[in-house]
């Protein structure tokens, strides 16, 4: 039994056997999330960043920190390796990936899981005319968890619904779904931010965080924005050329949750006041990008000169891969935290896997550390 079942989760848990696909499809992501929780209150499918609340985030971060420290503790390391050693997972990644794929694969192996991978749809039965849902349902019969990335967000939604509705025990984790969601990337950015600023304990004032770039088509920007909304002190500043600005669906969500936000086109105007900045590349695989937009995008580079205008203790993040928007010279700046974030990513994914299988009791894990 997990120690983190929040009151909100308990009172809002719903039975997925009672809902049809057309009814499910109509729900908001937060409502859908109510059907993607097991009897212990733990997530069974992590599809949307809106499925996390503060209590669960704090818990995952604490667990990730503990496991991260196990790098120096042989005994803890050996124990962690036994936690899911009867489980298997399939990494179904049909879009390019280096970091997320490797990070999830290593996370799964660190907790003892057997991993299997499918990366090339040409080599699967999709090639013989099988639907993607059938391919995924096949995996659901064979493994205990499916970790997936694909260009169509609707595929993971349908799969998560089918698995829950059929009462299958398979866990599902979203490693990036089209331009819509990338919840674990958001988790690792947040984990990095929180470990530098101790956001949980700071009171009063506002904490401006800028999200800069192709906000219209970036799943990492969207998922991070939902998670940041769990911290009421954070003001979200969306810096982008008008045609790539953050969608109204997201800013409506922030309004509903009384979160301060602002859209802005001028990066230089905002830099001196920021506590953190999240940069990203142009997401040109999701539709045509005009030459004009490309030219404008070049104005949103975080150059060495521009970085000088930022606060001395600000935090610079980027999901990577990067292009010209973040020159490699910035890596030497002590405020650059994107490489450290890659490292933290593995540990927050370990924490999430443990949570989803109900193996996330921190006290129990700690007791085995020494
Ligand atoms: C991001 C992604 O795939 O959405 N990368 C990642 O997972 N670290 C960002 C991107 O591709 O721009």
Q: In angstroms, rounded to a whole number, what is the distance separating the alpha carbons of residues 147 and 105?
A: 9
Q: Which residues pair with 148 in a beta bridge?
A: 92, 174
Taking each helix axis from N to C end, the angle separating 54-69 and 183-197, rounded to the nearest 10 degrees, works out to 80
Q: Which residues line the pocket of ligand 1, CB cutoff 6 A?
A: 99-100, 176, 182, 185, 219-220, 280-281, 319-321
Measured from the CA of 99, which atom of ligand 1 is nearest?
Answer: 8
Q: How many angstroms does the Cα of residue 277 sit away from the middle of ligand 1?
A: 16
Q: How many angstroms does the Cα of residue 368 sit away from the middle of ligand 1?
A: 35
For a ligand 1 pocket test, name from 151, 187, 244, 320 the mutation site with the most ligand atoms within 8 angstroms of its C-beta: 320
Give the residue whose CA is nearest to atom 6 of ligand 1.
Answer: 319
Give the pLDDT of residue 370: 66
Q: How many angstroms does the Cα of residue 363 sit away from the middle of ligand 1?
A: 34
Give the pLDDT of residue 200: 59
Q: How many angstroms does the Cα of residue 150 sit away from the middle of ligand 1?
A: 12
For a ligand 1 pocket test, name from 100, 151, 211, 222 the mutation site with the most ligand atoms within 8 angstroms of its C-beta: 100
What global pTM score does this model have?
0.96
Q: How many angstroms does the Cα of residue 99 sit away from the middle of ligand 1?
A: 8
Q: In angstroms, rounded to a whole number, what is the distance separating the alpha carbons of residues 360 and 370?
A: 18
Cα-to-chain-centroid distance, residue 93: 15
For a ligand 1 pocket test, name from 101, 217, 280, 321 the mutation site with the most ligand atoms within 8 angstroms of its C-beta: 321
90 CB-near residues (< 8 Å, 6+ apart): 115, 116, 117, 118, 139, 142, 143, 145, 146, 147
- Residues 139 and 58 sit within 8 Å (Cβ to Cβ): no
Q: In angstroms, rounded to a whole number, what is the distance separating the alpha carbons of residues 148 and 156?
A: 8
Give the residue whose CA is nearest to atom 8 of ligand 1.
Answer: 319
Q: How many angstroms does the Cα of residue 18 sit away from the middle of ligand 1?
A: 35
Give the residue whose CA is nearest to atom 11 of ligand 1.
Answer: 321
Give the pLDDT of residue 6: 60
Q: How many angstroms does the Cα of residue 16 sit away from the middle of ligand 1?
A: 31
For the stretch 47-64, what's the b/e string if a residue is b when 16 or more beta carbons lie within 10 angstroms of its beta carbon? bbbbbbbeebbebbbebb
Q: In angstroms, rounded to a whole number, what is the distance separating the alpha carbons of residues 322 and 328?
A: 9
For a ligand 1 pocket test, name from 150, 176, 224 the mutation site with the most ligand atoms within 8 angstroms of its C-beta: 176
Measured from the CA of 149, which atom of ligand 1 is nearest?
Answer: 3
Give the pLDDT of residue 201: 54
Measured from the CA of 100, which atom of ligand 1 is nearest?
Answer: 7
- Neighbour count for residue 231 (Cβ, 10 Å): 20
Q: In angstroms, rounded to a whole number, what is the distance separating the alpha carbons of residues 150 and 176?
A: 7
Q: How many angstroms does the Cα of residue 19 sit away from the middle of ligand 1?
A: 33
Measured from the CA of 280, which atom of ligand 1 is nearest?
Answer: 12
Residues of the chain with pLDDT below 50 are 1-2
Give the pLDDT of residue 2: 46
Q: How many angstroms does the Cα of residue 23 sit away from the middle of ligand 1?
A: 31
Q: How many angstroms does the Cα of residue 226 sit away from the middle of ligand 1?
A: 17
């Amino acid at each position: 039994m997990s120690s983190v079942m929040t009151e909100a989760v308990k009172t809002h848990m719903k039975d997925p056997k009672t809902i049809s696909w057309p009814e499910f499809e109509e729900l908001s992501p937060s409502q859908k999330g109510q059907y993607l929780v097991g009897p212990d209150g733990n997530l069974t499918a992590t599809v949307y960043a809106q499925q996390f609340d503060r209590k669960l985030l704090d818990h995952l971060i604490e667990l990730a920190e503990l496991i991260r420290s196990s790098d120096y503790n042989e005994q803890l390391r050996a124990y962690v390796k036994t936690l899911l050693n009867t489980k298997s997972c399939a990494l179904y990644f049909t879009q390019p990936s280096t970091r997320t794929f490797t990070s999830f694969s290593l996370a799964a192996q660190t907790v003892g899981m057997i991993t299997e991978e499918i990366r090339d749809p040409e080599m699967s039965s999709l090639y013989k005319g099988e639907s993607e849902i059938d391919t995924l349902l096949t995996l659901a019969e064979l493994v205990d968890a499916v970790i997936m990335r694909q260009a169509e967000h609707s595929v993971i939604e349908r799969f998560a619904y089918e698995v829950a509705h059929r009462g299958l025990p398979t866990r599902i984790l979203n490693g990036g779904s089209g331009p819509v969601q990338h919840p674990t990337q958001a988790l690792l950015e947040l984990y990095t931010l929180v470990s530098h600023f101790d956001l949980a304990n700071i009171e009063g004032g506002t904490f401006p965080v800028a999200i800069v770039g192709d906000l219209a088509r970036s799943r990492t920007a969207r998922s991070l924005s939902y998670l940041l909304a769990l911290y009421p002190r954070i003001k979200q500043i969306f810096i982008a050329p008008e045609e790539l600005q953050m969608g109204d669906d997201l800013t409506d969500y922030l309004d509903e949750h009384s979160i301060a936000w602002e859209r802005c086109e001028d990066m230089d105007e905002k830099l001196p006041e920021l506590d953190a900045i999240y940069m990203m590349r142009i997401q040109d695989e999701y539709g045509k990008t005009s030459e004009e937009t490309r030219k404008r995008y070049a104005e949103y580079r975080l150059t060495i000169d521009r970085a000088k205008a930022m606060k001395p203790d600000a935090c610079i993040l980027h999901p990577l891969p990067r292009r010209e928007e973040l020159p490699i010279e910035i890596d030497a700046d002590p405020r650059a935290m994107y490489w450290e974030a890659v490292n933290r990513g593995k540990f927050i994914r370990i924490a999430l896997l443990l949570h989803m299988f109900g193996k996330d009791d921190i006290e129990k894990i700690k007791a085995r550390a020494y």
